Structure 1
Amino acid sequence: MVSKKSAVVVGAGIVGISLTRALHRAGFHVTVLEKSSRPQGASIRNFGMFWPIGQPSGEGLELAHRSRHIWRSLREKAGFWLQETGSLHLAYTDLEAAVMHEYIQCAASERSASYLSPDVVVNRIPSINRVGLRGALWSAEEMLMDPREAIQKLTRYFEEQKDVDFHWNTPVTDIHQNRVYAGKRFWQADVLFLCTGSDWNMLPTPNGKEFPLVNCKLQMMRTPPQPTSWQLPTPLAFGLSLVHYPTFQVAPSISALASELAHLYPNFVKWGVHVMAAQNAAGEVTIGDTHQYGDNLSPFDDMAINQEVFDYLLTRLNIASPKVLQTWHGIYAKPRDGSRYYFSELEPGVWILNGLGGAGMTLSLGLAEVVVGKL
């Protein structure tokens, strides 16, 4: 009898879970090593948005489409809340509206984007502030989940699968050839995948290899559950997101908009803010976020910028219970050269997959299938 191929995945965040799924489907016995008792990193500290509108045409959009089908399948198997919500980018200046119209013209052949009038927007979501509203960019492709629930249920689902073993509270201390060590214990496998998110710089890497990654810190907030009479059925983004996502660089007016926003909101530019809001199944509204890049990020959050983000949102969305229940920050890794992700073979059979940044929930499931297919 031919023995089953084996794999070790280090890290149980969304990238590690995605690789676990892809490897298992490819016939591997998979061992997952996670340093904490449950995933604690950026995979549970985000909006839970599946956000293909943030991906430019080409590989990113193709991976997002591939991931969408997998998310739908896992929703049924693992039993987590996943809503097909679409998305709205609201325009409150003429330049924001111009960028949206230009984007729609460029994207018409491969996306569902359309422009909605202010009346249509407010009819859909009465809590949106009608004063100054120019309209909105509607996209039907986005989905929403609560990452705290989704990641937890996904790990439980895969723990129940034959030929998948999870080892919690197991920080990796050394990697040598096809062995991974955690203290005196070790696991040997045909392939090893390192998916440790922002802890990439703590990995005991083969040959002391340095990774071309940088960490990004994001501050976020969440309100208490809103009254059942108040609903936000579609995640919201605004003009700042048009500048943030490379998707919108196809619009000729994007540079003028970036200059306008830098003049209007200099502190937001300094903190890398683009304001978004999404309501989960419990009725809580998640709000964010900032983007600070560096190798020595502060462990402390700045409440003043949180308040600025919250105040900006309240000028555009009338939240029934406008209180902040929780604040936190997440840290994710990104390639320093702006690449979509970092995938490299460190030595034969030892791979690192990291650096998806804020697109982990959007790209990881599809990307993992592509990566495993190349083994």
Structure 2
Amino acid sequence: DEVMVDHDDRPLYDQKIIKAVVLSNPFPDIIPRVSIDSQSESGGQEKRPKSKSKAVKNFKLLSFGEEAEEDEEEVEQVNQKFSGKSKSTHDVLQDPKLSNVPAVEKSNKESSESDLSGDERHGHASAGSAIDVVKNKLKLKSEKSDKTNDKNAEESDKEEEGYDFYTERRKEKQKRLDDLKNEYQSLKANMKQDSKKKKSDQEKERLENEEREKKKEEQKKNEDYFNEIDKYKQKVQQIPKKGTSREELTASLLAKFREKLISAKEKVDSAPSEESANQNEDDELFKHELRFETNDPVLAKDANLKNDEWFDISDPRSALNKRKREASQKLMAKFTKRTRD
């Protein structure tokens, strides 16, 4: 719990442990002690009646027991003497401010009292001295009580001043914390705004770069397109116009095509080389043979008569066979991987 503390962070009012309650006892053989309060609450035992006998002071136990006993005897004598009579301030106190002149003339009773013997007068004098002793004691007690009251008042004033000081200090701390919190919130909002602005700037720059790249690609495509057009225009310009020159050009082109066909046929008859494997698809067209379907009957194969068609005769060094083997190996690897998974 929060408590009031001083400048050294120590509690102003000491905390005390009044009682403790055992919620779970791990030692069942230990029986807790039953207190008097719990017995009275449970009603197990009846309350003892209070004794009506008067307390007797044992003055022998005190170091000043004899003096206290004498004072007590004097007080008892005064009480016995004035018991049943009305006591005025003139009888109890000897104050010089009080007037000794009676407001009413002395009655016969007072005159009869003046005729008392010496012993009786001596008793009156001793009673007056006892009253003086009692008065002095009461005065000392009142002075002590006044001093203690003043001291308590000063301490309470100091506590109130300290309380006001610490509450003021606590308020200042709270105000400072609130200011720091507000400053943190403002800084956080500013940082968030700056990060958003930075992200928007980066996004804008990225879009601008993309647009610039697109424009460059379009320009490049346009340049390639116009270059192709210029190239074909130059070729068209190289073609001669109708006439003898045009016929000569056509004849030369046909001769070149014929030479290509002949050279391709010769290469097919000869052993294939690495250069032939790297030729273009256009050159492969010239090697292809055009065969038409025949209506001849298809003869069944006789297992007893095996000719060269039964066996696969192919050169493993040819590029075509190499590609076929690589493709089959890739297919087998994929198939084995799937079966393992």
More strand by share: 1
More helix by share: 2
Q: Which of structures 1 and 2 has the bigger CA Rg?
A: 2
- Give the structure-1-normalised TM-score: 0.14
- Give the structure-2-normalised TM-score: 0.15
